[in-house]
Amino acid sequence: MPELPEVECVRRSLERHVLGRRVSSVRVTRPDIIVGKHTPDTLLTGQRIAQVIRHGKQLALVADTGRCVAVHLGMSGQLCLIQPQDQPQANKPPKLPPHTHVLWRFEEGLLMRFTDPRRFGGLWTFDQREDLHSLRWARLGPDALLITPSDLHRRLFKTKRPLKAALLNQNLVAGLGNIYVDELLFGIGLHPLWLADQIDALQAAALVRRMRTLLSGAISRGGSTLRDYVDAENKTGTQQHRHKVYGRSGLGCKRRGCGAQIVSDQVAGRTTAWCPRCQAQPT
């Protein structure tokens, strides 16, 4: 379940190996996970990787030609590298995990695979970088690490939905998923059922502060590995050990001196966990 921190860890680990590298060939075994033209060209064959960028939970490989491939990992997607020394023999692909839909080969034998069992993720191809922004990323809200307090406040004020639902909406702010929204709301002591338009400027500022420390801390710990998340170098994260409410329903609140039982319920169609004592109920 990659959210912003996990996607950023994938981006960084990918960048370390593919930046400046030329794609020598691409093999597609499941064309239906690709949106847009998919030819060797649009999948960057013969082109060098100029940038690996991220907005919210989405990644994109930008080639020196300006073409780009946006990658959305969805629930179970992985973008993983396979080093030449880990391949049984050159020019012969090693044993690939099931549900590997696309395989890129770089010069000097490095491989990159896109694997996604549940297929909630996918790839989008664009002829130019501007198209990625105008056709796909433009509708996303500001990145959760970059949004300003006043912008968040303005955006929350425009909706009457529960805070939980508003923060999950990628068009409002991009990058938060179920885990980090629950952790964020615990962190600032607000119940998920507060209505977004009741959040004042001070609370919006607290949200932004907490969002930044939570997400950047999670990035520095390699993200949260719950089931199968790993970065492009196959490394797991450790942030899951720090979760205070997510996945802790029925357990004691970790805040010093609290110990109340964490509760959970459906909010905005998502399982939502919170501490009934630490998180102020809406009035």
Partner DNA sequence: CACCACCCCTGGACGC
Partner DNA sequence: TGCGTCCAGGGGTGGT
Q: Which of 135, 165, 144 is nearest to 269 (CA)?
A: 165
Cα-flanking dihedrals φ and ψ of residue 52, to 5°?
A: -120, 110
Question: In the annotation, is 15 catalytic?
Answer: no
Least distance to DNA, CB of residue 283, Å: 19
Question: In the annotation, is 2 catalytic?
Answer: yes
Q: Which is nearer to DNA, 47 or 76 (CB)?
A: 76
Between CA 37 and CA 21 the distance in angstroms is 23
Least distance to DNA, CB of residue 88, Å: 23
Q: Which residues bind DNA (CB under 7 A)?
A: 1, 3, 56-58, 72, 74-76, 98-99, 117-120, 158-161, 165, 168, 170, 177-179, 227-228, 268-271
* 172 neighbors 88 (Cβ within 8 angstroms): no
Q: Which is nearer to DNA, 16 or 118 (CB)?
A: 118
**One of 54, 57, 155, 210 is an active-site residue; which one?**
57
Q: Which of 116, 118, 171 is nearest to 143 (CA)?
A: 171
Least distance to DNA, CB of residue 32, Å: 9
**One of 30, 119, 255, 270 is an active-site residue; which one?**
270
Decide the pairing of beta strands 122-126 and 68-72. antiparallel
Question: In the annotation, is 210 catalytic?
Answer: no
Q: Which of 96, 58, 55, 53 is nearest to 74 (CA)?
A: 58
Question: In the annotation, is 270 catalytic?
Answer: yes
- Would you call 95 exposed, middle or buried from its count of C-beta atoms within 10 A (0-12, 13-18, 19+)? exposed
Q: Which is nearer to DNA, 139 or 209 (CB)?
A: 139
Q: Which is nearer to DNA, 93 or 117 (CB)?
A: 117
Query: Active-site positions?
Result: 2-3, 57, 270
